[in-house]
Amino acid sequence: MHSEPYLLDPSPDGVHVLWHTGAPASGAVLLGGGRRVEATSSALVTLHDDDGVRATVHRHWAYVDGLGAGRTPYRIVSVLADGAVTGSREYSLAPAAPPGTNVRLLLSSDHQMWRMTPANIAKVAETVGVELDGVLFAGDMVGVPDRAADWFDHPTGRGFFASMTGRADTEIAGRRYRGAPLLQHAPLFPAIGNHEVMGRRARHRTLREKFDDPAPDAWDTASYEALFPVPAGPAGPRWWARTVGDVFVVALFVTRAWRDAVTTYTEPADRLGDPMGGQFLFERVDAGSPQYEWLAAELASPPARAAKFRVVLFHHASHGLGAHAVPAYTDPVPTDGGYAYPIEHDVVLRDLAPLFGSAGVDLVVNGHSHLWNRFRDPAGVNWLETSNVGNSYGAFPERGDPGGLTPVMPTVAPLTGPTGAPLPYVADNDITVFSVLDSAAGVVRSYRFDTRRPAEPALLFDELLLQ
């Protein structure tokens, strides 16, 4: 194995370059002009195969500084113990866009090796190119975070890095899709979803069993933190804030232990007594918690106030028409009928939404329900989920938004239902969606691509004006 490079956390004069090999090696980044930057190499000890056998994966991490404005060509090389040399094609990297500079940011989430992911990323490249200023990813990159194949060489051909670096291999309607070399050119700015959290390691044999068995005092994000060590805030990579050109971005750790087949506000009585304790919250973010207090300070900081737009990125969507918008994002309450999740105690709606409104947040980007829908609250905060890559759990407009908002109809070309009426969502396993924030125009453009019609381009179907 020799993965393609990916970029993380650019600074005013540099950027982090990471890649992986399947054997011990030394590595370096070769820049245009003959400059060489050596990488620090280490084994990743948390990645395994399905049976729990440790996978041989070595991380190579170089911080390339001293960059000037514009893009610099680069490639990576690795030297194995036997002297064999492997490397990559030439790509381009750049330092962080200076504050106040217009940027273009891809908004995505919930890839998890789903069927349409390579087509989605291929259409991103075809529509807006790969030399973007960043990829904001709202969690759920893979299925099981400790499974090495999910990141690199999944049997489906759709490992996370495979699709995001142009090495996937999936056929739909007679066309092969390989994704695109996106992360080699555009830095990734990720947030943690529930599929980045492992459960109790010692109790089970298979990785899937371990993933499915977190407890309030026994879970971790070790593999995620090793693969994406930066950006980092006071709790490491779990939450962070950065200025990307004229956009101030905050990523939060807002997700919980997920239980399937729960589409109401309560869980069945037979789950009472389960040591998992219902769908508990992994990290506190309610008012008074360390994450909340840090968030409030960041949103009040000079960089946040000086930015043209303020964007908050996290996984769980408390506004949404999707199946996973319920139960409410709060602590489980045992009752005679099962676990209850009172909507009035939803942490996102009760504590975060008022803070976003008072701080002038322009856009909240979520994932989790595998669809596209958006909302605008009375404080002017836009809430967007744009995560449909082929495993939608459906939309439930008859239930409505748990937060009480009316979904915004796509402004350009909404899909229509069986009666011909326009739909305020995209929840389809043949139509994939991606969105791009263009700060120069002050707009988020959402595109859809019908994989049953491979010869057609992606279609602009919504424009969300941020100003």
| Domain locations in the chain as residue ranges | 1-96, 97-465
Reported as a single tens digit per residue, the pLDDT across 297-356 is 999 999 999 999 999 999 999 999 998 888 899 998 877 767 788 999 999 999 999 999
| 3-state secondary structure at position 287 | coil
* Least-confidence region, from 95-109, 189-203, 239-253, 398-412: 189-203
The CATH number of 1-96, from 2.40.110.10, 2.60.40.10, 3.10.110.10, 3.40.50.1980, is 2.60.40.10
User: Which amino acid would we find at residue 399?
Assistant: R
Inform me whether the pLDDT recorded for 276 exceeds 70. Answer: no
- Residue 323's nearest CA partner among 252, 401, 382, 376 is 401
As a whole number of angstroms, the longest Cα–Cα distance in the chain is: 70
Question: How crowded is residue 24: how many other Cβ atoms within 10 Å of its Cβ?
Answer: 13
pLDDT at 273: 52
pLDDT at 274: 56
If you average pLDDT over residues 279-295, what whole number do you get?
A: 96
If you average pLDDT over residues 156-176, what whole number do you get?
A: 95
If you average pLDDT over residues 32-47, what whole number do you get?
A: 95
* Half-sphere exposure of residue 186: CA atoms within 13 angstroms, side-chain side: 27
Alpha-carbon gap, residue 360 to 107, rounded angstroms: 20
pLDDT at 50: 80
- pTM given for the model: 0.96
3-state percent helix, strand, coil for the chain, nearest multiple of 5: 15, 30, 55
State how far the alpha carbon of 99 is from the alpha carbons of 137, 193, 243, 363, in Å. 21, 28, 7, 18
Read out DSSP for 364-406? EEE-SSSSEEEEE-TTS-EEEEE--SS----B-TTT--TT-PP
pLDDT at 1: 74
Inform me whether the pLDDT recorded for 269 exceeds 80. Answer: no
If you average pLDDT over residues 425-433, what whole number do you get?
A: 96
Average pLDDT, the chain: 93
Inform me whether the pLDDT recorded for 412 exceeds 60. Answer: yes
pLDDT at 378: 97
Inform me whether the pLDDT recorded for 202 exceeds 90. Answer: no
Q: What is the CATH number of domain 97-465?
A: 3.60.21.10
pLDDT at 389: 84
Tokens encoding 92: 């381009």
Give the percent of the chain with pLDDT over 90: 82
Strands (E), 115-244: 134-137, 170-172, 175-177, 188-190, 240-244
pLDDT at 263: 44
pLDDT at 258: 76
